[in-house]
Amino acid sequence: MSDFVLAKATLPDDRVVDIKVVDGLIAEIGNGLSATEVIDCTGLRALPGFVDLHTHLREPGFEQSETVLTGSQSAAVGGYTAVHAMANTQPVADNAAVVEQVFTLGQKAGYVDVFPIGAVTKNLDGTQLAELGSMHASSAAVKVFSDDGKCVSDPLLMRRAMQYVAAFDGVIAQHAQEPRLTEGAQMNAGEISAKLGLAGWPAVAEESIIARDVLLAKSLDARLHICHLSTAGSVEIIRWAKSQGIKVTAEVTPHHLLLTDDLAESYDPVYKVNPPLRTKVDVQALREALVDGTIDIVATDHAPHPSEAKDCEWAAAAFGMVGLESAASVAQLVLVDSGKSNWARLAEVMSHAPARIAGDETHGREITVGEPANLTLIDPSVSRAIEKQTSSKSQNNPYAGLHLPGAVKHTIFGGYFTVRDFELAEQGRH
Partner 1 sequence: MMHLLSTADLNKDDAISLLDLSDEMAGVNERGLRKLPSLRGKTVVNLFFEDSTRTRVSFEIAAKRLSADLINFSAKGSSVSKGESLKDTAQTLAAGGVDVFVIRHSASGAALSLAERGWTDVPVVNAGDGTHEHPTQALLDAMTMRERLHGLGATRGKDLSGVKVAIVGDIAHSRVARSNIQLLKTLGAEVHLIGPATLLPSGFDNTHTDLDEALTKIKPDVVMMLRIQLERMQSAFFPSAGEYSRFWGLTEERFARLSDDVVIMHPGPMNRGLEIASLVADSRNSAIVRQVANGISVRMAVLYNLVSQERQINE
415 contributes a contact to partner 1 by CB under 8 A: no
Distance, CA of 319 to chain centre: 17
189 contributes a contact to partner 1 by CB under 8 A: yes
Closest CA to 39 of 427, 413, 394, 412: 412
Closest CB 287 distance from partner 1, rounded Å: 24
Nearer to partner 1, 174 or 186 (CB): 186
Closest CB 260 distance from partner 1, rounded Å: 15
Among 108, 195, 280, 403, the residue binding partner 1 under the rule CB under 8 A is 195
Q: Indicate if 301 belongs to the active site.
A: yes
Among 12, 110, 190, 276, the residue binding partner 1 under the rule CB under 8 A is 190
191 contributes a contact to partner 1 by CB under 8 A: yes
What is the spatial distance between Cα 36 and Cα 30, in angstroms, rounded to a whole number? 16
What is the spatial distance between Cα 103 and Cα 230, in angstroms, rounded to a whole number? 30
178 contributes a contact to partner 1 by CB under 8 A: no
The catalytically annotated residue of 301, 337, 360, 379 is 301
Nearer to partner 1, 79 or 269 (CB): 269
Closest CB 346 distance from partner 1, rounded Å: 36
Nearer to partner 1, 157 or 181 (CB): 181
Q: Residue 84 carries which side chain, given as an amino acid letter?
A: H
Site for partner 1 in 316-345 (CB under 8 A): 316
Nearer to partner 1, 49 or 190 (CB): 190
Measure Cα distances from 231 to 236, 290, 424, 425, 427 in Å.
9, 13, 36, 38, 41
Closest CB 182 distance from partner 1, rounded Å: 12
Give the binding range for partner 1 (CB under 8 A) out of 56-64, 154-162, 181-189, 249-257.
181-189
For CA atoms 309, 399, 228, 135, the dihedral sign is positive
Give the binding range for partner 1 (CB under 8 A) out of 125-133, 145-153, 187-195, 283-291.
187-195
Nearer to partner 1, 264 or 349 (CB): 264
Give the binding range for partner 1 (CB under 8 A) out of 116-124, 313-321, 350-358, 371-379.
313-321
Phi, psi of 284 (to 5 degrees): -65, -45
Nearer to partner 1, 268 or 288 (CB): 268
Each residue 279-298 as x (binds partner 1 by CB under 8 A) or -, in order, gives: --------------------
254 contributes a contact to partner 1 by CB under 8 A: no
Among 312, 387, 422, 427, the residue binding partner 1 under the rule CB under 8 A is 312
Give the binding range for partner 1 (CB under 8 A) out of 51-59, 223-231, 311-319, 390-398.
311-319
Give the binding range for partner 1 (CB under 8 A) out of 127-135, 169-177, 188-196, 340-348.
188-196
**Binding-site ranges for partner 1 (CB under 8 A):** 183, 186, 189-191, 194-199, 267-268, 308, 311-316
Catalytic residues: 301
